[in-house]
Amino acid sequence: MHELGVVFHCIKEVNEIAAENKVSRVSSVTIQLGEVSTVIPYLFEDCWNWAVKKETVLKDCRIKIEIIPAVTLCEDCKREYPTVQHGKTCPYCGSLNTYLVQGNEFMIKEIEVVDKAPGSVET
Amino acid sequence: MNCLVINKAWKGGMDQVRVIEIKKSIFEDNDRDADRLRSELRDKGVFLLNLMSSPGSGKTTTLIKTINTLKDRMHIAVMEADIDSDVDARKILEATGVQSIQLHTGGMCHLDAEMTRQGLDNLDLGSVDLAVLENVGNLVCPAEFDTGSSKNCMILSVPEGHDKPLKYPLMFSICDLVLINKIDVMPYFDFDLDLCEKYIHMRNPKAEVIPICAKTGEGIERFAAWLESQVSDWKEAR
């Protein structure tokens, strides 16, 4: 349910970008998804594939998902560690004074568009 | 928007394929809409409370008690967001008499700033001091979408367990106030209030915590006083 909501947001953004760039067809969208962004990649993909069937400019547009690993920095010992394994507690010194450096991203990285040659018929 | 064309390639026939680099957060537009809405509401002197929780934690009952405590002291309006039906908006209207409208999310799990604006447009905000948005019952998605609210509040009810702040860290990290509801049944659920507060503050040291019981009215006056002081600060900051 959550993934469907964010898919709608993403499609809206891409439609706006397409309109601004006078693009009539978007063939693929690449998103960057942090490991702890709360969006599950395979569910996002499923929702995406369902939602783009109803689109015009984004009709049957492919989705490419790049995963960004989650990394946390410890303020006390200044070391970085993988967030998913250790959570908020630093595995080196046990401090809770830590914050996420990367891993909650949810970005549209790029879109691939098709410009029809002049005079060609829309398919 | 700045879009950079980084790659042009001819692919088969006469159609040209190119890649447009975007590098834009999917929540960026919503964050901008929310900031705009917040500043408009500040100019109008309307304080918007975004009330969130799991389904069944007692949002509507808490609201009814609180509104009946506060309605002689300020003007209040309510927006009830649900996936379907208008039972909550009717309940609020019947039990309190304040303006109340129902928003349908059309299957979506949260409200965003644009939907909140549409809801507000359907209220008569003229003399309203406090508008309450009762968000969809859900601890995940509403935390990610800024609605343009002045403050965020969530209700955690005792049967849900004191360890909930550990399970939904984002929700607790964005809330200014956490109400712990149904404290009358605490002995039956092995609910550790001190531990719960500790977990909340692990995720958000600034969050205020008020234990309440919407059914008996315990703690409601404290919540009402919190709202009153927030509303007056909001108006003074104009």
Chain B residue with CA closest to A96: the answer is B202
The residue extents of the domains of chain A are: 2-69+104-114
Give the burial string for B55-77 (b: 16+ CB within 10 Å, else e): eebbbbbbbbbbbbbbeeebbbb
ipTM for the complex?
Answer: 0.81
Tell if the CB–CB gap between A1 and B29 is shorter than 8 Å. no
Q: Which of residues 54-113 of A touch B (CB under 8 A)?
A: 88, 96, 105-113
Band (pLDDT 50/70/90 cuts) for residue B14 is: low
Residues of B in contact with A105 (CB under 8 A): 25
**Confidence at residue B1, expressed as pLDDT on a 0 to 100 scale:** 39
Instruction: Copy the structure tokens of residue A58.
Output: 């984004």
Check A31 against B1: CB less than 8 A apart.
Answer: no
B1 contacts A5? CB cut-off 8 A: no
Q: Which residues of A touch B13 (CB under 8 A)?
A: 117, 120
The confidence score (pLDDT) of residue A6 equals 87
* Residue of chain B whose alpha carbon sits nearest to that of A87: B166
Which region, left, alpha or beta, applies to residue B137 given φ > 0 means left and ψ of -120 to 50 means alpha? beta
Task: Give the pLDDT score at A118.
Answer: 65
Residues of A in contact with B138 (CB under 8 A): 2
Cβ of B144 and A9 within 8 Å? no
User: In the predicted model, is pLDDT for residue A47 greater than 70?
Assistant: yes
Cβ <8 Å between A111 and B19: yes
Residues of B in contact with A15 (CB under 8 A): none
Indicate the residue type of B190: D
Least confident of A97-106, B14-23, B177-186: B14-23
State the Cα–Cα distance between residues B178 and B209, nearest whole angstrom: 5
Listing DSSP states for chain B in one string gives ---EEEEEEE-SSS-EEEEEEEEEETTHHHHHHHHHHHHHHHHHT-EEEEEEE-TTSSHHHHHHHHHHHHTTTS-EEEEEEESS-SHHHHHHHHHH-SEEEEEE-TT-SS--HHHHHHHHHTS--TT-SEEEEE--S-SSGGGTS----SEEEEEEEGGG-TTHHHHSHHHHHT-SEEEEE-GGGGGGTT--HHHHHHHHHHH-TT-EEEE-BTTTTBTHHHHHHHHHHHHHHHHHT-
Residue of B nearest to A109 (CA): B23
CATH fold, domain A2-69+104-114, is hypothetical protein PF0899 fold (3.30.2320)
In this prediction, residue B13 carries a pLDDT of 54
pLDDT of residue B184: 96
Phi and psi, residue A36, nearest 5°: -115, 35
Contact between A115 and B15 using a beta-carbon 8 Å cutoff: yes
Q: Could you give the domains of chain B? A: 37-236 (3.40.50.300)
Residue A109 has pLDDT above 60, yes or no: yes
DSSP-derived 3-state class of residue A80: strand
Pairing of strands B76-82, B151-157: unpaired
pLDDT at A119 > cutoff 50? yes
Q: What is the pLDDT of residues B161-199, one digit of tens each?
A: 999 999 888 899 999 999 999 999 999 999 999 999 999
Task: Average the pLDDT over each of A20-29, B107-116, B152-161 and give the range with the smallest value.
Answer: B107-116
